[in-house]
A and B are shown apart, each in its own frame.
Chain A
Amino acid sequence: MRGTQIAQLKEWLQVEGYGVVETGWSRSALMAKSIDAAKAGNMLNPLTFSLLYATDFADRLEKQIIPALRAGFVVLADRYIYTAFARDFVRGADPTWVRELFSFALVPDLVCYLRIGVDDLIQRVLESGGMNYWESGMDLRLGTDLFDCFRKYQGLLLKEFDRMTEPYGFHVVDASKPIDKIQAQLRTMVAPLLPKSRRGGTAVLSAEAAGAGSATSQAAGASAGAVAGAPVAGAAGPGAAVPGADSGERTPAPVAVAAAGTGPEHPADGRTEEEGRG
């Protein structure tokens, strides 16, 4: 779900003339292999689980997201630190520790939480490939079989996402609606954040420079993507001055969009991540 929505959003933005960079959870060049290997061998405990994902996120943030924002791109993130928060909280991590851990993250301009109930989620996941060990939170031993575990685990994640909705200002999107309806809604949310024109650009929102640790979150059951960025033409990025901007004038206009949705760990088939995270 999240994956589909992000792909459509990307296409739309590009047609509109904006440069778009997509980034997905656990897909960093540095860490992707380690994470896969660790998951395959079930070598993770809650602590290393948090830390591996934090490392992956840091790598993507510093090598992908920030440079793209500086260069004036719109960044679409399929899940953001909120997914890590939810997963870690469900695993009993100390919330203060986890939030502080991710305190170097940028605050997205927009976080869309694609919210879906567990029952709808189950349908989708089964239709798109089935449940797996980590999406079911099998490491938590919440139930006797995969299905029970999945149900309970995703339910817990959903609760965490719901709890984060207000403090982190998620924009909730009902992900049980048809794809095109959701897409239309996402576009309405994103549009005002985009710079109106290249000249005189109205800067809409800028991704906040980091710091304070706040994070956005992804939605439970749904996926979240954070987008920040300025249109290709120019805008200075968040925080840092854009280095080497070609044209003298820049219109600041970074936008951030985050989509949250349910889906599986692999964005390709958006299964459960959204809500849960796999």
Chain B
Amino acid sequence: MSLAQPHNLPGKLFVVEGIDGSGKSTQLKLLHDWLNSRGYPVFFTEWNSSALVRETTKKGKKKDLLTPTTFSLLHATDFADRLSYEVIPPLKAGMIVLADRYVYTAFARDVVRGVHPEWVRNLYAFAVRPDLAIYFRTPIDVALDRLLSARAKIKYHEAGMDLGLSRDVHESFRIFQSRVLSEYDQVVTEYGLAVMDAAEPINVQQERVRELVAARLEAYTVRRGSLRKSTKPFWRTFPTPSASLEP
């Protein structure tokens, strides 16, 4: 498995990327619902969510113990763990895997934090190459407005406060995320990400997302797993004792 070559597993891997407040998670959720409604088996995985390093990352972030290198390595460890347990097995089983953020997040963010671009690309060389990666391009003000309206507070690392760019959270967010945006532009060209205008209305974007996904599903066949809901419970098909006793 490698980021450099398409995988040939039976499943499909779809990825969304973008800065915080780009609306990518909303779009992925809508896509998830749509795929479910079409009867596709879907598996969802999210950046920085594995149990293996969760506590360490949390502690490291809270106490500001992380350097750019350890920050990057911890996220790579998280990614490797999820890749082994949450991405590869469902892909091998022929499922559709939806990933909220993927290696491109590291390529953009870690580089802004000062990690060498080539080093971080090599670090993630073991990743499975997605069948489709959509980048939600967002003007910085739109992202800031969305975040503020949703939770009124911007997180420390989201704003890149660890970089000491500014004492003001909003200002720091603006500077940090603008740099992340320009790194993303680089990544988009380098890895051929599909670009979505994240300032468009939600439904308009979703339509396009579905078109892009549908195009990748043309040759895809659903493998029915034993865990799928079936309209008919299987035991109904067995003869009951009373039925078999009937003359």
Contacts and interface: CB of A to CB of B under 8 A. Distances in A.
Partners in one complex: yes
A51 B122 contact: no
Given A58-B69, A58-B70, A47 B126 contact: yes
B57 to A, nearest CB: 9
A138 B56 CA distance: 26
Contacts of A134: none
Contacts of A100: 119, 122-123
Interface string B31-68: 00000000000000000000011011001100001110
Contacts of B69: 58, 62, 104
Given A29-B65, A52-B77, A55-B77, A97 B125 contact: yes
A30 interface: yes
A181 interface: no
Contact of A43 (B52, B60, B74, B123): B52
Given A47-B126, A48-B80, A62-B67, A34 B73 contact: no
A142 B30 CA distance: 47
A33 B55 CA distance: 9
Contacts of A104: 69, 119
A78 B60 CA distance: 24
Contacts of B65: 29-30, 59, 63
B186 interface: no
B158 interface: no
Contact of A51 (B66, B67, B80, B119): B80
A62 B52 contact: no
Interface string A233-261: 00000000000000000000000000000
A94 B122 CA distance: 11
Q: Is the interface of A mostly helix, strand, loop or mixed?
A: helix
Nearest to A62: B67
A34 B84 contact: no
A185 interface: no
Nearest to B50: A48
B52 A38 contact: yes
B86 interface: no
A45 B84 contact: yes
B80 A59 contact: no
Interface in A35-66: 38, 43, 45, 47-48, 51-52, 54-55, 58-59, 62-63
B20 interface: no
A101 B52 contact: no
B52 A48 contact: yes
Interface string A127-159: 000000000000000000000000000000000
Contacts of A63: 65, 67
Contacts of B59: 30
A31 B52 CA distance: 11
Contacts of B76: 51
A51 B120 CA distance: 13
A58 B73 contact: yes
Contacts of B125: 94, 97
A59 B63 CA distance: 14
Given A59-B70, A62-B70, A97 B122 contact: yes
A59 to B, nearest CB: 5
Contacts of A55: 70, 73-74, 77
B185 interface: no
A34 B56 contact: yes
Interface of A: 29-31, 33-34, 38, 43, 45, 47-48, 51-52, 54-55, 58-59, 62-63, 94, 97, 100-101, 103-104
Given A34-B52, A51-B73, 12 more contacts: A30-B60, A30-B66, A34-B56, A38-B52, A48-B80, A55-B70, A58-B67, A59-B65, A59-B67, A100-B119, A101-B122, A104-B69
Interface of B: 52-53, 55-56, 59-60, 65-67, 69-70, 73-74, 76-77, 80-81, 83-84, 119, 122-123, 125-126
12 contacts: A31-B56, A34-B56, A43-B52, A47-B80, A47-B84, A48-B84, A54-B73, A62-B67, A62-B70, A97-B125, A104-B69, A104-B119
